[in-house]
Structure 1
């Protein structure tokens, strides 16, 4: 009876003290974000841990010998270890929130802040995983049989580590890759990347996987080892400003300068343009058409996409309205065929142009027909098979 009363008193007193401390911390939290976060996230694990410790000590001191004493005390020890791990993890979560609140990512030019956010999140996950493993190990070591087994297996720890490493090679590789990504600065949370021919944003980085939010709100989930073993594009590695192109095919007779003036007008009239690059160039002139490439710049990838679409739309509309003769066209030459030709041959008649060079001329050959051509032929064709057979 005394033991039960002692347990009730200890638990009640602990709850009352915890409630008083909680109110004090909440009052302090009105002026301190750290205290407010502690009062909100650490209250439950702290309450559970202190109550379990108080109950355990009350039983040890006031309870005499009874049939289940060892089992009850052992259970309380296990619960205390688990609740202590919960408390430490909650404190780490509060520390992470404080760090992330100081380095907010919803600001312009947030490259350094995104790197710190990625490292803080990864460190927290590694630490929480280590706490869970250590807590589980300490709980197992409270059993005498397992403690003796652990001492006997200590001599063969090398063999066990090799077997475990081979069995979990892929998982451990992803874990180490996740840690490497956190500190190599190759990718960060909110980075814009192109992976597997998909354009998206790094949404989450864990120890084993990286979640990429694709532009159409799909999620591409890749192992962390992918970003350490395969090439990918990072559009925000050193900054968010990027360049992009919009291509238009026109006829050879198209005057280019009016189109350059129209492109400049479109860029200057749009808030998507960042004022850095606005260039119109002829990149190809083959196949009966001229390809124009408008190169523009924007502050981020999303604005660049919209700006490219706007430039393409305005250029197409301006050409249709002011330069319809500039539209791509196919040219063909018609000739009058002889009267003896059949209707079938008339349809397929085409003009044949000759160069005036003989097919055996040196000007018609690259890998033969001269000292220089023969040298190239030997280099690309290998040794003479006749000479090889004679040797």
Structure 2
């Protein structure tokens, strides 16, 4: 008669706890190293600050995955490995997003907005902001797709999904043609330099500045502190005025309704004093 196998669950839990402690310790060492590097580099300090949480999460999960895969499989370890794998994909995606945002911020830091002629800086800022939004969408889609592909049933269904993607794409394109048009118009605005963030424009007989440009809409800050939200296709299909297309300075007209008895020469002298 064979004896029943001993339950090794307590040993597995002890090993997992040790692996979690080891992973967290490695994360602390990496964090301290990054902080020391940050004393000599502002970029390294920013990376250490932003990447601390995703790095801790990813390293701890990686240690747990290595420990689970190195031990004999238990009845309950399969589900834990699956959950840890999903969390690991999320942590890596988080780290990639942090690194991408850091690179984009470094690119923005090279171009100052508080200068007399900031046209090039505004153009770069507009493009980087849109690229950041695109980056978030791409990273999210890749992360979700990677998570789904860890399930065998999804991998098996992948062939049929790809086969029917053409038909689905046609119907989706017809149903969402307005939204897609706005997305392509947003990309066109960013890379054709038609408008930039902080440009002075006149739209719908309203004077204001471009406050935000997204993939689907543009926010115009009106002079009286209102916000006009227009679809991106508006700026590719409707004529509008851009007063800062060629230079940052704005030329305007000031009209004063005065009485005939106003001393014009004294008023002109006061104007010159204020201008000086």
TM surpasses 0.5:
yes
Q: CA RMSD in A?
A: 2.2
Partner of 2:242: 234
Pick aligned residue for 1:90 from 82, 92, 98: 98
Counting only pairs closer than 5 Å after superposition, residues 203-242 of structure 1 correspond to structure 2 as: 203-242=211-250
Matched, 1:104 2:108: no
Question: Structure 2: where are the runs of 5+ without partners?
Answer: 1-9
Matched, 1:119 2:119: no
Matched, 1:271 2:275: yes
Instruction: Note if contact 2:217-2:230 (Cα within 8 Å) is conserved in structure 1.
Output: yes
CA distance in 1, matches of 2:73, 2:113: 59
Q: What's the offset of the Cα at 1:268?
A: 2.6
Q: What's the offset of the Cα at 1:108?
A: 2.0
Partner of 1:23: 32
Pick aligned residue for 1:190 from 198, 202, 208: 198
Higher share in helix? 2
Higher relative contact order (CA 8 A, sep 6+): 2
CA distance in 2, matches of 1:128, 1:249: 53
CA distance in 2, matches of 1:118, 1:250: 43
Three-state SS of the structure 1 residue aligned to 2:252 is strand
Partner of 1:279: none
Matched, 1:39 2:48: yes
Q: What's the offset of the Cα at 1:248?
A: 6.3
- Extract structure 1 runs of 4+ deviating beyond 4 A: 247-251, 261-264
CA distance in 1, matches of 2:255, 2:112: 38
Three-state SS of the structure 2 residue aligned to 1:243 is coil
CA spacing shift, 1:249–1:17, aligned 2, 3 Å: closer
Q: What's the offset of the Cα at 1:247?
A: 4.6
Three-state SS of the structure 2 residue aligned to 1:245 is coil
Partner of 2:65: 56
Counting only pairs closer than 5 Å after superposition, residues 238-277 of structure 1 correspond to structure 2 as: 238-247=246-255, 265-271=269-275
CA distance in 2, matches of 1:175, 1:58: 45
Instruction: Note if contact 2:209-2:220 (Cα within 8 Å) is conserved in structure 1.
Output: yes
Q: How does the TM-score come out when normalised to structure 1?
A: 0.63
Question: Structure 1: where are the runs of 5+ without partners?
Answer: 273-391
Matched, 1:145 2:158: no
CA spacing shift, 1:264–1:240, aligned 2, 3 Å: farther
CA distance in 2, matches of 1:271, 1:4: 77
CA spacing shift, 1:26–1:8, aligned 2, 3 Å: same
Structure 1 residues 213-271: Cα deviation after superposition (integer angstroms, max 9, x where no partner): 111222211111211111111111111223333456899xx9xxx95x66764543223
Tell me which moved more, 111-120 or 26-35.
26-35
Matched, 1:135 2:139: no
Q: What's the offset of the Cα at 1:40?
A: 0.9
Matched, 1:5 2:9: no
CA distance in 1, matches of 2:256, 2:222: 27
Higher share in strand? 1
